[in-house]
Amino acid sequence: MEPLDQLLRKGETSKEVYLLRRLQADEKDSSDSTLGLHFDLTVPFARFVLENAGKLQFPFRRYQIQKCWRGERPQEGRYREFLQADIDIVDRDTLPSHYEAELPLIIADVLGGLPIPKIRIQVNNRKVLQGFYRGLGIDDQDEAIRIVDKIDKIGPAGVAAELASLGATEAQAKLALALAEISTPDASFVELVEKLGVTDPLLTEGLAELVNVVETARAHAPGICFAELKIARGLDYYTGTVYETQLVGFEKSGSICSGGRYDNLASSGKETFPGVGISLGVTRLVGVLFGRDALQVSRSVPTCVLVALPAEEDRPAADRIAAALRARGIATEVAPAAAKFGKQIRFAERRGIPFVWFPSPEGDTVKDIRSGDQVDAAAASWSPPSEDLYPAVRGSFG
Amino acid sequence: MEPLDQLLRKGETSKEVYLLRRLQADEKDSSDSTLGLHFDLTVPFARFVLENAGKLQFPFRRYQIQKCWRGERPQEGRYREFLQADIDIVDRDTLPSHYEAELPLIIADVLGGLPIPKIRIQVNNRKVLQGFYRGLGIDDQDEAIRIVDKIDKIGPAGVAAELASLGATEAQAKLALALAEISTPDASFVELVEKLGVTDPLLTEGLAELVNVVETARAHAPGICFAELKIARGLDYYTGTVYETQLVGFEKSGSICSGGRYDNLASSGKETFPGVGISLGVTRLVGVLFGRDALQVSRSVPTCVLVALPAEEDRPAADRIAAALRARGIATEVAPAAAKFGKQIRFAERRGIPFVWFPSPEGDTVKDIRSGDQVDAAAASWSPPSEDLYPAVRGSFG
């Protein structure tokens, strides 16, 4: 939760904020300042940086995995309560632009290790849009950005119509749309922009920053990061590089990982802490994949070994076997009740537990209940094959 | 968040619940059912079990680490927003009492591995209290439990006075207080209770269950778990074993780990899912220890190695060194800017980063900046001493 004035500090927000009120509060009880639930992790992070600037070492890097809330009508891809995983770097006064190039490398590494479809990180720079529209002679560049940002929803004709009602000429609208169509996997977008014949110092600065991001990413993980000049991130607080990430084959589900550079979010009157961050929408990602049955899990529990129980009075001994296995990182549970071994094996089968351990005064044995193989074993030394140690998640993407 | 009717499903609650309202909601907008924030993790867990009973395998064990909220006046040990870590086991229809004995073993293992003061797990059983008061001839046993639960706040005289106004005789109040004074590290409490001369079948059942919990814990981790017959857990939903946990030397800060058995929390009309659980108050625990400067952290960042940067154009090579170290589990960051090496070493010093890596065409070296030792190193093979790999937290408890 955050004070409401912090949540609305950047003025206008398109986010549906939830406010809090105590159930037992008097209707007129206004002793507490109004509290609300954060709609992202960036705004609370900016508040944290300002409050703790004296104690932090800059540049300050942090990750944070936490719930966020928006008062939406729930539907696939939009949730009232959802989990975000954020990384951010902030510095005092100035922030070198190499950090803007570092974030897509981290996302490529993190998502590349997961059983999910191929990703496509789409990058742009607000300065490119701002500078291009200014060079083009459009006065309200912020409004133009908001209009072009809707291109996937309303189409090029819709964008042209809205730009016209903003006062843009047909030629200006045509060039704005031509810019939005540019998409390259490398620095070649610069040449395509230059061919449009618009010049502006801010445009030049933005193009150079975008080249650095796209080329750094290409050297690290080719084929993942694209310059995509229609990306704008709508109403948000970004001032430079902006990122969106699509799952290839699931483009309609929207961006699963978005962010950008914000120069003014964490600033008091005296001090400013420019930052750059990116936020993985964990709930949306998992919702998309489970919603299409695109993930299979090898078993329903983390348990690798079930210790069978010959009789209820053997429970303390079985607990000691379980403790010895757990101490070596092998997830183990003890059978819930003494019963015929066949019944205890079926209990393991129903959960997908691969191994059943049989304690015995003559020496313990452990059985792989998939193959039926049973071997002598000691809790202090036996280990399962490494592929059975944890449940495995596999993806199948059509 | 939870539907409010779920949060209040067990009727009366002493918890201050936060309700949610959308900022942009129309005053008369009542299309959504009222939502609130959960005040613990047990009530949402019970709702989850009922909703998913058809898909779960029982007994169902889960852990959950999550924020909870209560509309309290914030002070040490009481928070509006706090982190709980819960474990629970639920079964269908019946739950064997050996699970009640298992939970303190887990808590002893988990907390025994942390740099915190010695713990004291205090156990009782609601059936002991209920049965004893009934055997004693007190009619409103629930109210008697609530009164005796306040003994640490209002003292024995206060309890006696409140029991008297409930209609208890002086002799009854004296025996209720004598019961509350019983505290043993083993099964010897049974004899002490029997000496009080009160008999009741529920009392007998409760004593047997409590013997099992205390003796199982004593065999596993002696000196940690005590039968403490004043423990009652106030207004909560417990029906059998109840737990509280104190930090030795920090008793005034209250219980950091509480729970118990609940037979009726997860039950629909047709089905019942008795459970037992315990909840670690992470925020309270950390708050108590940091509040008394009782924890020291070896460094302020997880970073183990800083890769120094001879010149800005060396950043891609430095990034590759960092990637190679990170791939082997060594937390690494690259210097924020190229500068004199002395300045880069001071940057590492300020954060407590123990090692600085110097890339060089003649072969890299790594320096332990505490000792000044500098050795040849390759990013594919060098490892720090294991005690430097992660920041260490050490406790000092007066």
CATH of the domain at B330: 3.40.50.800
Dihedral of CA atoms A310, A314, A319, A320 in degrees, nearest 10, equals -110
Q: Residue B139: which domain range?
A: 2-295
Q: Is the pLDDT of residue A11 over 80?
A: no
Q: Distance between CA atoms of B323 and A105, rounded to whole angstroms?
A: 10
Q: Distance between CA atoms of A39 and A41, rounded to whole angstroms?
A: 7
Q: Distance between CA atoms of A12 and B312, rounded to whole angstroms?
A: 39
Q: Distance between CA atoms of B261 and B241, rounded to whole angstroms?
A: 5
Q: Which residue of B has its CA nearest to A219?
A: B316
Same domain, B278 and B343: no
Share of residues in chain B with pLDDT > 90 (%): 79
Same domain, A310 and A290: no
Do B352 and B337 meet the contact criterion of CB atoms below 8 Å apart?
no
DSSP string, A260-301: EEESSSSB-SS-B--EEEEEEEHHHHHHHHHHTT-EEES-SS
Q: What is the pLDDT of residue A49?
A: 96
User: At A338, phi and psi to the nearest 5?
Assistant: -70, 135
Beta bridge partners of B36: B2, B19
CA of A292 to nearest chain B CA: how many angstroms apart? 19
Whether residues B96 and A337 touch (CB distance < 8 A) is answered with: yes
Do A95 and A375 meet the contact criterion of CB atoms below 8 Å apart?
no
Do A106 and A297 meet the contact criterion of CB atoms below 8 Å apart?
no
Q: Which residues contact B69 (CB under 8 A, 6 or more apart)?
A: A1, A20, B18, B37, B38, B39, B80, B81, B82
Q: What is the pLDDT of residue A16?
A: 85
Q: Which residues contact B319 (CB under 8 A, 6 or more apart)?
A: A102, A105, A220, B334
By the CB < 8 Å criterion, does B20 face chain A?
Answer: yes
Q: Which of A36, A57, A337 sits opposite B351 (nearest CB)?
A: A57
Same domain, B214 and B314: no
DSSP secondary structure code for residue B255 in this structure:
-
Task: Report the 10 Å Cβ neighbour count for A8.
Answer: 16
Same domain, B287 and B331: no
Q: What is the pLDDT of residue B89?
A: 97
Q: In total, how many domains does chain A have?
A: 2
Half-sphere exposure for B393 (CA within 13 Å, toward CB): 12
Q: Is the pLDDT of residue A32 over 70?
A: no
What digits encode the pLDDT tens for the residues A206-241? 999 999 999 999 988 899 999 999 998 876 789 999
Q: Is residue A48 part of a domain?
A: yes
Same domain, B283 and B337: no
Last residue of a domain, one of B276, B295, B314: B295
Do A330 and A305 meet the contact criterion of CB atoms below 8 Å apart?
yes
Do B151 and B159 meet the contact criterion of CB atoms below 8 Å apart?
yes
What is the band of B233 on the pLDDT scale with cuts at 50, 70, 90?
confident
Same domain, B45 and B81: yes
Q: What is the pLDDT of residue A30?
A: 56
Whether residues B19 and A18 touch (CB distance < 8 A) is answered with: no
What is the band of B31 on the pLDDT scale with cuts at 50, 70, 90?
low
What is the band of A29 on the pLDDT scale with cuts at 50, 70, 90?
low
Give the position of tokens 């004074």: B181
Last residue of a domain, one of B295, B326, B344: B295
Q: Which residues contact A96 (CB under 8 A, 6 or more apart)?
A: B336, B337
Q: Distance between CA atoms of B209 and B204, rounded to whole angstroms?
A: 9
The annotated binding site of A for L-histidine is made up of: 40-42, 70, 84, 88, 233, 237-238
- Give this complex's ipTM: 0.88
Q: What is the pLDDT of residue A224?
A: 92
CA dihedral for A49, A54, A59, A61, sign (positive or negative): negative
Q: Is residue B44 part of a domain?
A: yes
Q: Is residue B64 part of a domain?
A: yes
Q: Is residue B266 part of a domain?
A: yes
What digits encode the pLDDT tens for the residues B296-320? 999 989 999 999 999 999 999 999 9
Q: What is the pLDDT of residue A36?
A: 94
Q: Is residue A11 part of a domain?
A: yes
Q: Which residues of B touch A62 (CB under 8 A)?
A: none
Q: What is the pLDDT of residue B8?
A: 85
The one-letter amino acid code at A290 reads: F
Same domain, B238 and B352: no
Beta bridge partners of B243: B123, B259
DSSP secondary structure code for residue A249 in this structure:
T
Q: Which residues contact A223 (CB under 8 A, 6 or more apart)?
A: A185
Same domain, A84 and A135: yes
* Plot region of B30 (φ>0 → left; ψ -120 to 50 → alpha; else → beta): alpha
Q: What is the pLDDT of residue A5?
A: 86
Q: Which residue of A has its CA nearest to B316?
A: A216
Q: Which residues of B touch A274 (CB under 8 A)?
A: none
Same domain, B178 and B102: yes
By the CB < 8 Å criterion, does B328 face chain A?
Answer: no
Q: Distance between CA atoms of B370 and B1, rounded to whole angstroms?
A: 48
What is the band of B396 on the pLDDT scale with cuts at 50, 70, 90?
confident
Q: Is residue A6 part of a domain?
A: yes
- Say whether B173 sits in a helix, a strand or coil: helix
Q: Is B386 exposed, middle or buried (0-12, 13-18, 19+ CB in 10 A)?
A: exposed
Same domain, A166 and A35: yes
CA of B88 to nearest chain A CA: how many angstroms apart? 14
Candidates A37, A54, A16, A207; CA nearest to A127 is A207
The pair of structure tokens assigned to B47 is: 């709702």
DSSP string, A171-187: HHHHHHHHHHT-EESST
CATH of the domain at B265: 3.30.930.10
Whether residues B21 and A22 touch (CB distance < 8 A) is answered with: no
Pairing of strands A183-184, A225-228: antiparallel
By the CB < 8 Å criterion, does A337 face chain B?
Answer: yes
Last residue of a domain, one of A295, A329, A347: A295
What digits encode the pLDDT tens for the residues A319-373? 999 999 999 999 999 999 999 999 999 999 999 999 999 999 999 999 999 999 9
CA dihedral for A136, A141, A145, A148, sign (positive or negative): negative
Q: Is residue B300 part of a domain?
A: no
What digits encode the pLDDT tens for the residues A151-205? 988 999 999 999 999 999 999 999 999 999 999 999 999 999 999 999 999 999 9
Same domain, B51 and B133: yes
Q: Is residue A300 part of a domain?
A: no
Q: Distance between CA atoms of A114 and A110, rounded to whole angstroms?
A: 7
Same domain, B32 and B119: yes
Which of A148-152, B12-16, B345-349 comes out lowest in average pLDDT? B12-16
